[in-house]
């Protein structure tokens, strides 16, 4: 759980630039890991 929170914190602190990374598929995969379906 804390690992997910840490990952989410990294994404949010990185800002939209991280979400619109060179590899959007990776960003979406990370997003799916933290967001419950």
pLDDT digits (tens, 9 = 90+) for 7-30: 766 666 656 655 555 676 777 777
Q: Is the pTM of this model over 0.75?
A: no
Q: How confident is the model at residue 31 (pLDDT cuts 50, 70, 90)?
A: confident
User: CA 5, CA 12: separation in Å to the nearest integer?
Assistant: 10
Indicate the angle between helix axes 24-34 and 2-14, nearest 10 degrees: 140
């Amino acid at each position: 759980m804390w690992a997910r929170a840490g990952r989410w914190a990294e994404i949010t602190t990185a800002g939209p630039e991280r979400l619109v990374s060179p590899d959007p598929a990776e960003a979406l995969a990370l997003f799916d890991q933290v967001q419950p379906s």
